[in-house]
Amino acid sequence: MSQPPDGRATRGLITMAAACYATNVAFGLGVATGVIDNRRIHWVHHALFIATGSVTALALAASAVQRRPAGLPLLLAVGPLAALPYAGGRLRRHATVAGMAAPSFVTALILAWRRH
C-alpha cells in the first residue's frame, strides 16, 4: 500500500509561489520609488510575473493532487494575477490589482506551515 502524501511538495511550492510574488512586489516597489532603474532590465519584472503565475499554478495542482487545503487560498490569487497584465502600467491601478493577491499568498503560507 502506498503512503498518503505528506504535503511537502505542496508546502514547498506554496513557499516558492509566495517568494516569487514577494520578490516581484519588492522589485515593483523598487522601480516605483526610483531605487531600481529598470530601463535596461524591464524584462525582469515580466519574468518574475511569469514565475509567480507558473509556480502558483503548480502549487494549486500539488494541493489538489495531495488533497491539501493549504493551496485553496491561492485560488483567490488567480483573479488578480490574471487581471494584472490588463491593469496597465499606471502605478495606483497596477499596485492595487497586484496587492489584491497578497492576502491569498499569506493565508496559503500560514496554512502550509502550521502544525497539525
Give per-residue pLDDT as tens, 6-43: 788 999 999 999 999 999 999 999 999 999 999 999 89
Residue 4 scores a pLDDT above 60: no
DSSP readout, 28-87? HHHHHHTSS--SS-HHHHHHHHHHHHHHHHHHHHHHHHTT-GGGGGGHHHHHHHHHGGGS
Predicted pLDDT at 116? 61
Predicted pLDDT at 1? 46
Predicted pLDDT at 88? 83
Predicted pLDDT at 69? 93
Give per-residue pLDDT as tens, 54-104: 999 999 999 999 999 999 999 999 999 999 999 887 889 999 999 999 999
